[in-house]
Amino acid sequence: MKPTDTVQSRRSSLRRTAARWVAVGLASCASLALAVTYLVPSAPTPQSDTAQGGEEASRTRWGASYFPNIELTTHQGDNVRFFDDLIKDKVVVINFIYTSCPDTCPLETARLAQVYKILGDRVGDDVFFYSITIDPDNDTPDVLAAYAQRYGAGPGWTFLTGNEAEIVELRKKLGLYIPEIQSDDSNNHNLSLIIGNQATGQWMKRSPFENPHVLATQVGSWLHNWKLPTKERRDFADAPKLRSVSDGERLFRTRCAACHTIGGAVVGTQVATNDPNVGPDLLDVDLRRDPAWLRRWIAEPDVMLAEQDPLALQLLAAYNDVAMPNMRLGGTDIADLLGFVRAESSRIRRVQRAREAGRLGRDHSARERRLGTLGLRDAWVREAPPKANVSAGYLTLVNHGEREARVVGAQSPLFEHVEFHEMVQTDGGMGMRPLDELVVPASGELRLETGGKHLMLIGPQQALAHGKKVPVRLQLASGKGWDVWLPVVAPERGRPG
């Protein structure tokens, strides 16, 4: 290639790049027009004497004359008009999705599900959620209804489909269409969602990575002009000092927290959540899963699902067919994320051990009980869900003798069977295997604890609530029987994954 050809090629490349950035800039300016109206509400548009009455919404710039009143079909099969039926005089949250999206649509929908729960009964009353598909050929009302059910969408949250060309025009009007990432065979789309009050002309773009409580405040308070009573005001001097947040925690909060918890608690606290997770709880996930499998699952879950990886398909089925999104994380990001999950899991385990020790102390179960040279302490049973067929028992056996002691069996009048089991690392995860006996070494101890050996209590005869005690008879190899009582302890909330 001649030097002049190289220079000409570079100049052409620069012109093309500049043209693209100019186009992006123009698109950004157009979309910013909506966001700016939050800060400077538009003045009412004068109405002529011949204007049709009843067009209250056209008093603002963003009224019937701006928004296309296209026909859409809800996930219940009803036909509606975008302006007349969905947004006129309402506070709304609008996003665009498609149900087969392997990337951020699941995250965006899961984040909206959190906001939906925070706002509670207000959704459908003075706030309305709309998720509109950009893939109407595949996302029929039935498909959208199944998708809505997966994420717990109820009254006030409507999923919609319609004519593709009209939906594209609507995205442009809402400032959520970027031509540079679109093509005839692409479902790439702007990740932002838009919130607005049509009556006042206030519109804002928001990120799906936003904190759900912040989003709920913006929708529930800002866009209602703070008409609801505020909570008690506090002096800024009483504000807690903010701790530093690692890159791994930042990734978890923005990419993972919409679907996952660690130990069933809000990250960074001991506050449990009663909400069911969209995805599995991640407490000790790095210990429960094969490290190579876990890193690949975070990097390319869509590929592993396409390959029909057995564990990936098992997780998909266990969590209502909600697919893990591909967040396009690199190796460093994944290492940071797993480092945070490990650190947070260790912190939560320390809290759990301290709480369990405190409960056991109050129940007088921490004191060692003796049968000959064998001692027992820290005995407890994890409270199980009402319809669970199994529960787990934990204790510590201490051998004060010079010979090993063996426990060869156990039984309880409150369960059909009591077996010995152990959690072990298997290919791709943790598994459980039965044990014939429990061996307590001479002058040593054997701990039955979460994540290790334990009593498997099978077939409960009655529901066991926190505060009750389970009688268990331990059968020793010496022929002696030992009757012990295990108090029932409420578990830390969270779902295993």
Rounded distance, CA 345 to CA 342, Å?
A: 5
The pLDDT value given to residue 11: 42
Among the listed residues 326, 294, 288, 319, the one whose alpha carbon sits nearest the alpha carbon of residue 309: 294
246 neighbors 340 (Cβ within 8 angstroms): yes
Q: Which CATH class is domain 363-489?
A: mainly beta
Tell me if residue 177 falls in helix, strand or coil: coil
Least confident stretch, 54-63, 150-159, 232-241: 54-63
**SS3 (DSSP) at 414:** coil
**Per-residue confidence band for 272, with pLDDT thresholds at 50, 70 and 90:** very low
Residue 228 has pLDDT above 80, yes or no: no
- The stretch 398-411 carries a mean pLDDT of 93
More confident residue, 462 or 364: 462
Residue range 150-173: mean pLDDT, rounded: 93
Stronger pLDDT, 152 or 33, i.e. the higher one: 152
Residues 6 or more apart whose Cβ sits within 8 Å of residue 201: 37, 41, 42, 60, 61, 62
| Phi, psi of 359, rounded to the nearest 5 degrees | -65, -40
Q: What is the pLDDT of residue 359?
A: 53
Listing DSSP states for 27-79 in one string gives HHHHHHHHHHHHHSPPPPPP--TTSPTT-GGGGSSSSTTTS---EEEETTS-E
pLDDT for the residue 463: 82
Count of CB atoms situated within 10 Å of the CB of 349: 16
Mean pLDDT computed over every residue of the chain: 77
Q: Where are the domains of the chain?
A: 31-43+79-224, 247-360, 363-489
Model pLDDT, residue 497? 37
% the chain with pLDDT above 90 = 35
* Whole-number pLDDT of residue 277: 58
Q: How confident is the model at residue 331 (pLDDT cuts 50, 70, 90)?
A: very high
As beta bridge partners, residue 157 has: 129
pLDDT over threshold 90, residue 351 = no
pLDDT in tens, 196-212: 999 888 898 888 777 88
Alpha-carbon torsion 337, 342, 347, 351, what sign? positive
User: Is the pLDDT at 28 greater than 70, yes or no?
Assistant: no
Among 332, 275, 265, 321, smallest CA distance to 298 is for 332
Q: What is the pLDDT of residue 150?
A: 86
Q: Is the pTM of this model over 0.85?
A: no
The alpha carbon torsion through 124, 113, 227, 82 (nearest 10 deg) reads: -50
Q: How far is CA 344 from CA 349, 394, 398, in A?
A: 9, 23, 31
- Higher pLDDT residue, 385 or 331? 331
Of 315 and 84, the structure prediction assigns the larger pLDDT to 84
With 80 as the cut, is the pLDDT of residue 295 above it? Answer: yes
In this prediction, residues 223-235 reach a mean pLDDT of 63
Task: Please tell me the predicted confidence (pLDDT) of residue 1.
Answer: 43
Give the pLDDT mean for 421-431.
62
**pLDDT higher than threshold 70 for residue 320:** yes
**The two three-digit tokens of residue 45, written as one number:** 């548009």
More confident residue, 71 or 62: 71
pLDDT value at 329 more than 50: yes
| Residue range 427-450: mean pLDDT, rounded | 81
Helices (H), 153-300: 164-173, 212-220, 247-251, 285-288, 291-299
In this structure, of 256-270, 294-308, 330-344, the range with the lowest mean pLDDT score is 256-270
| 401-429 average pLDDT score | 84
The pLDDT score that the predictor gives to residue 425 is 57
- What CATH class is the domain 31-43+79-224? alpha beta
Q: How confident is the model at residue 392 (pLDDT cuts 50, 70, 90)?
A: confident
At 262 the pLDDT is 87
Q: How confident is the model at residue 144 (pLDDT cuts 50, 70, 90)?
A: very high
Average of pLDDT values for 123-145? 94
Instruction: Report residue 382's pLDDT band, with 50, 70 and 90 as the boundaries.
Output: confident
Q: From 1.10.760.10, 3.40.718.10, 3.30.465.10, 1.20.1050.10, which CATH number describes the 247-360 domain?
A: 1.10.760.10
By the 8 A CB rule, do 401 and 373 touch? yes
- How many Cβ atoms from other residues are within 10 Å of residue 225's Cβ? 11
d(CA 230, CA 168): 39
- Nearest CA among 81, 106, 82 for reference residue 94: 82
Residue 400 has pLDDT above 70, yes or no: yes
What's the one-letter identity of residue 350? R
The reported pLDDT for the residue numbered 230 is: 53
Q: To 10 degrees, the CA torsion angle through 244, 248, 249, 252?
A: 160
Q: Which amino acid is at 310?
A: P
pLDDT band with cut points at 50, 70 and 90 for residue 42: very low
Q: Which of the four pLDDT bands, split at 50, 70 and 90, describes residue 358?
A: low
Among 37-41, 115-119, 285-289, 462-466, the range with the most confident prediction by mean pLDDT is 115-119
Q: What is the mean pLDDT of residues 216-222?
A: 86
Q: Lowest-pLDDT range, 31-40, 80-89, 98-107, 352-361? A: 31-40
Residue 54 banded pLDDT, cuts 50, 70, 90:
very low
Short-list 89, 71, 68, 91, CA closest to 80: 71
| pLDDT value of residue 99 | 87
- Integer Cα distance of 11 and 73 in angstroms: 49
**Contact partners, residue 288, CB within 8 Å, separation at least 6:** 429, 430, 497
Q: Is the pLDDT of residue 469 over 80?
A: yes
pLDDT of residue 389: 81
For 76-127, write each residue's pLDDT tens digit. Answer: 999 999 999 999 999 999 999 888 876 667 778 888 888 999 899 999 999 9
